[in-house]
Structure 1
Amino acid sequence: MESLESIWMHAIFFIADERLADLAGAAALQMTLHWDCDFHIFIERQEPTAQIREVGSGRITYHYEELGGFLPDGLPESSRWPRIVYLRLFAPRLLSSYRRLLYLDADILSFDADAALWEVPLPHGLGAVADLAALERGHDKKERKAWLAGIGVRSGRYANSGVLLIDPAVWNRIDFAGMLPEYFAAYPATTFPDQDFLAHVFDGRWTELSPRYNWQGGVLHWGLTRAVAPVFVHFCGMVRPWHGAQALWLDPNDSAYSEYYDRALENTGLSVQAYRKVFRLPPLRRAKYALLSWLSKKGIPSRREGARRAEWWSNHRFLRSYIEGGLAEARFAGEPRTRLDLREPHPFWDGRFVRVDGDLPPGDPVRMPPAEAT
């Protein structure tokens, strides 16, 4: 019989294949700085003989090929959305002794810990953050209501599946294996298969968490990050911070995130060079962006700059209004604030992107000496 102590414990878990295993290990080790809980990394290799470099820590447990058997055949998959995206549904079966579980994508860093998250009531078994890129319009810029209807969502609510707060006692009563084939037979044109499926299964019946628990990559440069003070930053863009700092015209986000990832990887004993990826721009495009930036500094804005600035301010104000409205209405679970402490941002034009420098989460997320890996 399990002790009461074990029943009331909490855990964070990741799921990765051999391509993301090192990043999941680095993220888990980095989070041991902030979070007093257990960590589980489920490895589901596409190549069974692939060697996995485990991060040495007493709080981190690795699991190998323990989840694939739960998954029914015939589910949609692609190079962008491999089969492992569905496995987050089944890991709670193997972690059922915990009172609360927190699933995190491997492309997330923790900037703080908030023990209040573990106490959020989950009457339907799930807490999540709204998908911030789909608040105004559907993915692929589709009309939102029609897009949601096309994936079987009637409530108007849609969550990002990169951070999931789970009550395993409730979650494990759901027959996900039986529901998955039925869902994709009824809704074959999904864009984000696992995320769309969860939005349908929990249609309007999930607890909305504050955006600070899943601050997503697409909004990092909208001038709200420091005010939001995210607990988790989710780097779900095309250019990832472990690729290394890029030229201004390749990524609108602050290069400090790349420095954080460099240290997180180095703390696992990994070489950051193995994760570098250089995105190149043709010389003519670089020259065009440089000219547009120079004209802006001289007080001669281009039409492109005017349009991009207007779009940036529209995005900033919309997201700001959404968050401030949620705070004022106490709509976000686990969020004690009633307002944002926000200074008016001062964006600038670099020739391609409207940017805000120095708008980073408070604190330093990686401040430990290198750890041994086995």
Structure 2
Amino acid sequence: MHSAFYITVDDGYLGIGLAQARRLRALWQIDVHVFIEGAGGVQRDEQGAGGVFVHRNLMRDLIPQGLPSTESWPRIVYGRIFAPYLLPQYDRLIYLDADIFPMVAAPELLQIELPGGLAAVQDASTIGSAPRSAGGMSRDDWLRSIGMHTQRYFNAGVMMLDQKKWAAVDFAAGLLAFMARHGQAAHTQDQDFLNCHFQDRWTEISPRFNYQKAHFNYGYERLFAPVFLHFSSFEKPWRQEAAPDTVHGQFFAPYRQMFAAAGIDHRDYLREHREAGIRRLRGELRRWLTRHGVRTGKERRLRQEWQRKSDSLYEGLRADARADRYADMRFTLDARPQPTLSFDGSYLRRSLDVSYAPIE
């Protein structure tokens, strides 16, 4: 079976995508295709130096005009739907968001059957509740608002697909029709569309293959040792050095090493984060109080929210274990993890108990 990874980025994420691609190639020893949409002309890479193929602006005529986009959900995200049309030489394709750190190779993923043409991981942030973007709707109402009748909703940051089955679908027409009907309710636009299109037909794989930000604080990384670690929030570990007892601080150095291995200067992607003065002072005061044994109102609220989410995630994963939902593994979950969390004045934090493969 001939397989490859593909990544879609704009010019702002180009170095990040190339560094990720080089690491994927070194770990998995299969082709990696990076699709760039941005300034300049059209360029197709036929040679793939070192197994990494870099293409520019091949999807201009494939992605329909007029699709909704935002700063946090830019037009380039639609590329993950259309890039597979350009890769007919492969049987299996694995898509990765650019904010994913490849931890280890797991070639058994490529052997999973795809009767519906797609495998993915449940979206952890929507287990037991609707996303915040749904504006307080119940989970059932939110799902109905985007045309879904099933409860299973996946995160599209990692997808494995059957290229022939995928390419046989007119996704441009389907996407436009979905937006005409559900566009007002769809806030993660192409992900909502893909969930609607593939409902009851996608193959579910374990969180190993898309260990999302919504998993980080709950202690399941030893049960689901991450293959792909997904920084699926506004915080990105390459942007600034952070406290080492946080996941973003823990992975600042690995990202710097990944950039260096690809010949990319990590300093080009550093971004200073400045909080407003009053917010920063409040955070420092709360952190000081916590260090001196005083639990502030914000910390209490965050811990109550953590408990609610922990309950939902635990019950959801127990149900998945009983139903034997994951095509890649069977597991039992008899006890809830009890991770140690620290409060930094603004958020609850912890680091992950994980290891990743070094690259020489």
TM-score by length of 2: 0.89
Return closer, same or farther for 1:341/1:168 CA change in 2, 3 Å cut-off.
farther
Contact 1:103-1:164 at 8 Å conserved across structures: yes
List per-residue Cα deviations over 1:226-245 (Å, max 9, x = no partner): 44211101112112111022
**Separation (CA, whole Å) in 2 of partners of 1:79 and 1:354:** 26
Q: Give 1:327 shift.
A: 3.0
> Secondary structure of 1:233's match?
strand
> Secondary structure of 1:279's match?
coil
> Secondary structure of 1:221's match?
helix
Hey, what does 2:179 align to over in structure 1? 184
- When structure 1 is superposed on structure 2, of 264-273 and 345-354 the one drifting more is 345-354
* Aligned AA (2:60): G
Return closer, same or farther for 1:353/1:84 CA change in 2, 3 Å cut-off.
closer
Hey, what does 1:302 align to over in structure 2? 296
**Separation (CA, whole Å) in 2 of partners of 1:24 and 1:147:** 32
In the alignment, does 2:293 pair up with 1:274?
A: no
Contact 2:320-2:326 at 8 Å conserved across structures: yes
The percent of aligned pairs where both chains have the same amino acid is 32
Hey, what does 1:173 align to over in structure 2? 168
- When structure 1 is superposed on structure 2, of 34-43 and 330-339 the one drifting more is 330-339
Hey, what does 1:3 align to over in structure 2? none
In the alignment, does 2:119 pair up with 1:123?
A: no
**Separation (CA, whole Å) in 2 of partners of 1:321 and 1:80:** 30
Q: Give 1:300 shift.
A: 2.7
Contact 1:120-1:334 at 8 Å conserved across structures: yes
Hey, what does 1:209 align to over in structure 2? 205
**Separation (CA, whole Å) in 1 of partners of 2:250 and 2:182:** 41
User: How many residues matched?
Assistant: 354
Contact 1:223-1:316 at 8 Å conserved across structures: no
Q: Give 1:340 shift.
A: 8.0
Superposition RMSD in Å: 2.6
Contact 2:239-2:270 at 8 Å conserved across structures: yes
Matches within 5 A, 1:153-164: 153-164=148-159
> Secondary structure of 1:61's match?
strand
List per-residue Cα deviations over 1:116-169 (Å, max 9, x = no partner): 111111111011111111122222243211111111111122111111110112
Hey, what does 1:194 align to over in structure 2? 190
> Secondary structure of 2:268's match?
helix
1:290 equivalent among 275, 284, 295: 284
* Aligned AA (1:273): R
Q: Give 1:86 shift.
A: 1.7
Unaligned runs of 5+ in 1: 1-7, 370-374
Hey, what does 1:103 align to over in structure 2? 95
**Separation (CA, whole Å) in 2 of partners of 1:258 and 1:233:** 13
Hey, what does 1:30 align to over in structure 2? 23
Unaligned runs of 5+ in 2: none
List per-residue Cα deviations over 1:298-330 (Å, max 9, x = no partner): 333223322222222222232233224323432
In the alignment, does 2:62 pair up with 1:67?
A: no
2:255 equivalent among 255, 261, 271: 261
Return closer, same or farther for 1:268/1:342 CA change in 2, 3 Å cut-off.
farther
Hey, what does 1:242 align to over in structure 2? 238
> Secondary structure of 2:160's match?
strand
**Separation (CA, whole Å) in 2 of partners of 1:332 and 1:146:** 26
Matches within 5 A, 1:8-19: 8-19=1-12
